[in-house]
Amino acid sequence: MPALLAGKNIFVARIPVLHGVVHSIAWAPAEDLHVRFVETSRDGFAAAHDISSYSLIALARETQRLMTAGGAIVTMTYAGARRVVPNYNVMGPAKASLESSVRHLTADLGPAGIRVNAVSAGPVATVAARTIKDFSSMLEPLESYTPLRRNVSAAEAAAVVFLLSDLARPVTGEVFHVDAGAHAVT
Ligand code: 0WE
C-alpha cells in the first residue's frame, strides 16, 4: 500500500479543506432481515446500529475539523425509520437512530457553519436491494399509491447535491423526502 494510504490519517494528509461529505452506508445481518422483528438478535441489533447509525457520528467527528469554511453532511435514510415496512426489521430502528443523530449533530456542528441533513429516498433497486426477499414486488405498488404514481431512481436522489450546495445554506436538521410523495399519503 502506498505510504499516503497507510494508517487512518488519509483525509488529513491529502485534503486541506472539505466542504461536503455524503454518508451512504447501511448494513444489517441478512438473518435479521429475514426473521420476524421480534426475533432480532442482540448482535444483529448492535451491528445494524453500529454500521448504519454510529458511522455518521464517527464521520462527522473526523471530518468536522477539515470543514474549516463551513460545510454540509448528507446521509441517506428510509421510510422504515418511521413506519413498519415489511422485512425492513432492525434497519427501521437503525434509521430512526440515524435521523435522531442528524438532529443532535446539527446542534454541535451548526455554530461552525456545518449543516447536517438526510435524504429519505423511496426504494431504489440497487444491487444490495435486489438481494432482499420480495424487493421487486415492493416497487410495483408505488406506481399506484404514490401521489406522482411512480418510482424513484438512484439518479433522482440528486437532492443530495442540493443539500450539499449553498442553495441549502439555511437548511439543517432536515429529512428531505425524495419518494414521489409517499410520505404524504402513507
Ligand atoms: O436501507 C436499505 C437497505 C439496507 C440493507 C440491505 C441489506 C441487504 C443485504 C441493510 N443490510 C442488508 N444486509 C444484507 O445482508 N434500503 C432502504 C433498501 C431496502 O432494504 C429493505 C427494503 C428496502 C427498501 C429490506 C427489507 C424491505 C425493504
Q: Which of 52, 67, 88, 99 is catalytic?
A: 88
pLDDT for the residue numbered 82? 98
Domain ranges of the chain: 20-185
CATH of domain 20-185: 3.40.50.720
Q: Is the CB of 152 under 6 A from ligand 1?
A: no
For residues 45 and 90, the answer to whether their CB atoms sit within 8 Å is yes
Q: Which of 28, 64, 71, 78 is catalytic?
A: 78
10-58 confidence digits (pLDDT tens): 555 677 899 999 999 999 999 999 999 999 999 999 999 999 999 999 9
Reference 53, options 114, 100, 110, 119; nearest CA is 100
pLDDT for the residue numbered 1? 44
pLDDT in tens, the chain (186 residues): 455 555 555 555 677 899 999 999 999 999 999 999 999 999 999 999 999 999 999 999 999 999 999 999 999 999 999 999 999 999 999 999 999 999 999 999 999 999 999 999 999 988 888 888 788 888 888 999 999 999 999 999 899 999 999 999 999 999 999 999 999 999
186 Cα to the center of ligand 1, angstroms: 20
DSSP lists the bridge partners of residue 30 as none
pLDDT for the residue numbered 8? 56
Active site residue 145: no
pLDDT for the residue numbered 2? 52
Q: Is the CB of 132 under 6 A from ligand 1?
A: yes
1 Cα to the center of ligand 1, angstroms: 32
Task: Please name the residues in contact with 165: beta carbons below 8 A apart, sequence gap of 6 or more.
Answer: 72
Q: Is the CB of 157 under 6 A from ligand 1?
A: no
Among 78, 139, 178, say which to mutate for ligand 1: greatest number of ligand atoms within 8 Å of CB: 78
3-state SS class at 123: coil
pLDDT for the residue numbered 71? 98
Query: Helices in the chain by DSSP H: which ranges?
Result: 10-14, 30-33, 42-49, 55-63, 91-109, 127-130, 135-145, 159-164, 182-185
Active site residue 78: yes
Q: Is the CB of 37 under 6 A from ligand 1?
A: no
Among 132, 146, 153, say which to mutate for ligand 1: greatest number of ligand atoms within 8 Å of CB: 132
Q: Is the CB of 27 under 6 A from ligand 1?
A: yes
